[in-house]
Structure 1
Amino acid sequence: MKDVYLLSGFLGSGKTSLLTDLLRQLKAQGLKPAVIMNEFGKLPFDSQAVDEDIPLKEMLEGCICCSGAEKTEAQIQGLLHGPEFDVLVIETTGAAHPVEALDAVYSPIFADQLHIKGIITVADSKRFLERETLPVQMRSLFLEQIRHAHLLLANKIDLLTDSEAAKVVQDIQQVNPHAFIVQTTHAKVPLNVVERLSATTSQFPVEKAPITSLQLSTRLVTFTTPVEREVFEQWLRALPDTIYRMKGYVWVKGITNPMLFQYAYGMVQWLPEYVKMSPQLVIIGENVNELKVPSI
């Protein structure tokens, strides 16, 4: 299993500084990292921060959450079939929504090869204090990036007074009371803090997650027997609104191959699949380990 970290945060918040320092620490521990970098423009400016000996895939001209799952899957598949690595670090664009980015990364095709450790959001502390001056959509995304993080870096803390620094931490805790918050300069955080994260829950049946304070998490379900489609759809209608995404292949009674299944914020899509895919489903949301899934 490859550990995966998703780096989130606005442009200029310090994500690339975090990436550079994480890669340094991983290599110092004898681990082999790989990187996916997502940039809006045509030129890969930030990729210069990655050493040549580190496997690197670049996604240019678009945000990872709207560039298409197929493109993201292809990049990850390329890494998995390339030189051996231990840890995958994905730096998203400043416009990436954490749920959408996680959805793009976590495909049922290779979900059993990846262990999503968590989303690390870098927040520019000064910009956070001035968030009310931002346009509404920008402020909303800024807060969403913070709300869904498993680890939060209150970065550029050296630019604030002691009272301002205290207010930043207090206000961030109100947005996300579950994440661990670290005050940082140049986005430097000890590797042992990062390694404690675990946003992937075990398969059903499940026990309590090792870190119960995490909200946004993922779960891989493998169907051992086919489901009744009507029963499965009744279960879908009863889902809480904290289940954001599901995608994968559901084994349905009376149908030869598992069906391609997509779920997004209550919207359901079933598509026939002509190749016999592994009957696995990825669930993304909050408290996913508490769900009881039919026929597994």
Structure 2
Amino acid sequence: MKDVYLFSGFLGSGKTSMLTDVIRQLKEQHIKPAVIINELGKLNFDSQAVEEGIPLKEMLEGCICCSGAEKTEAQIQSLLHDADFDILIIETTGAAHPVEALDAVYSPLFADRLNIKGIVTVADSKLWLNRASLSPQARSLFMEQIRHAHLLLANKVDLLTEEEQAQVVYELQSFNPQAFILQTTNGKVPLALLQNMQSTAQVDKEEIIPARIGKSFNLGSRLVEFNRSYTQEEFEAWIKELPESVYRMKGYVPIEGIKNPMLFQYAYGMVQWLPEFIHMPAKLVIIGEDIQQIKVVGID
């Protein structure tokens, strides 16, 4: 039997940081993981978190929980047939409803070969406190991901005061009393805590509140290719003008005076720049609601 973990969490919550650290811990204990990463856009930057040699399947431009259930089955079948691994980690897109995504894993084709350990949801603690700023549809999805977690990481606690940390834990525990709640920074979770997980029941579809992705929830992705360089000040001035409907951006931005495009990440107003030592394509994925209407600096 192969243990299966489903990593869930809203856009920019820290799922990939958790994945990277969990893989490190597994490697230290000589446990072989396989990974399936689901991404909303055409490029999967998160796959770079997975070390070479680890079996990896990518599902781009879609959601495991929508039309991707058959693709998920095929990916798992392929891993079970071709790859040497001990556990399977599935990282969903931030737009995925965790229970619907988990349901896609329950297939009669391999049910006797997989042991579903449960849903691990990474929640951005600061976003939890500011959840009223989200659109009703986005807030519904954010809270559904938290409500169905077996293990809940209250992440980014380093950005909160002690009083705010206590408030987050109290409110999360009240909202999902069944979950074990762990306060984390950079998504670091002890491997033993994951190994001690065990979901107690099959998916109950009657309890799922549909996320309505693609209907009233107009979440989508947009791929932008840059044809010129920017100053950081120019680019960040554009960032400040973005509407709140832009939740996440990640990619490589060409900056004047720097040889290679810099790795750029954005989540809920917070910006991160990191140097890149090889020349990556100057492309950016924007994730949010109604993003086709957004004017991109120097392009539109």
Q: TM-score, normalised by structure 2?
A: 0.67
Identify the residue that residue 52 of structure 1 maps to in structure 2.
52
Q: Which whole-Å deviations, capped at 9, do the CAs of 1:54-109 have from their partners, x for residues lacking one?
A: 00000000111113321110000010011211000000000100111011122111
In structure 1, the residue matched to 2:26 is 26
Structure 2: gaps spanning 5 or more residues? 210-300
Name the SS of the counterpart of 1:30 in structure 2: coil
Write the distance in 1 (CA, Å) between the matches of 2:179 and 2:42. 34
SS of corresponding position for 1:65: coil
The one-letter code of the counterpart of 1:113 is R
Deviation of 1:218 after TM superposition, in Å, equals 2.1
Mapping for residues 70-109 of structure 1, pairs under 5 Å? 70-109=70-109
SS in 2 for 1:198: coil
Q: Deviations 1:182-215 (Å, cap 9, x if unpaired)?
A: 000000010011111111x5xxxxxxxxxxxxxx
* Runs of 4 or more consecutive aligned structure 1 residues displaced over 3 Å after TM superposition: 239-244
Q: Secondary structure at the match of 1:177?
A: coil
Q: State the SS of the aligned residue for 1:81.
A: helix
Number of corresponding residues: 209
| Among candidates 202, 214, 218, match of residue 202 of structure 2 | 218
Question: RMSD of aligned C-alpha atoms?
Answer: 1.7
- 1:154 match: 154
For 1:115 and 1:127, how far apart are their aligned partners in 2?
Answer: 32
Q: Is the 8 A contact 2:11 2:93 kept in 1?
A: yes
Matched-pair contact (CA < 8 Å) for 1:121–1:149: yes
SS in 1 for 2:202: strand
User: Is the 2:122–2:187 Cα contact (8 Å) retained in structure 1?
Assistant: yes
2:188 match: 188
- Superposed, 1:112-261 pairs within 5 Å as 112-199=112-199, 217-218=201-202, 241-242=206-207
Please say if residues 8 and 94 of structure 2, whose CA atoms lie closer than 8 Å, have aligned partners that are also in contact: yes
* Contact 1:116–1:218 (CA under 8 A) maintained in structure 2: no
Amino acid at match of 1:86: D
Q: Does the 8 Å CA contact 1:36/1:56 hold for their aligned counterparts?
A: yes
For residues 93 and 164 of structure 1, the distance between their equivalents in structure 2, rounded to whole angstroms, comes to 27
Partners of 2:137 and 2:56 in 1: CA distance: 31
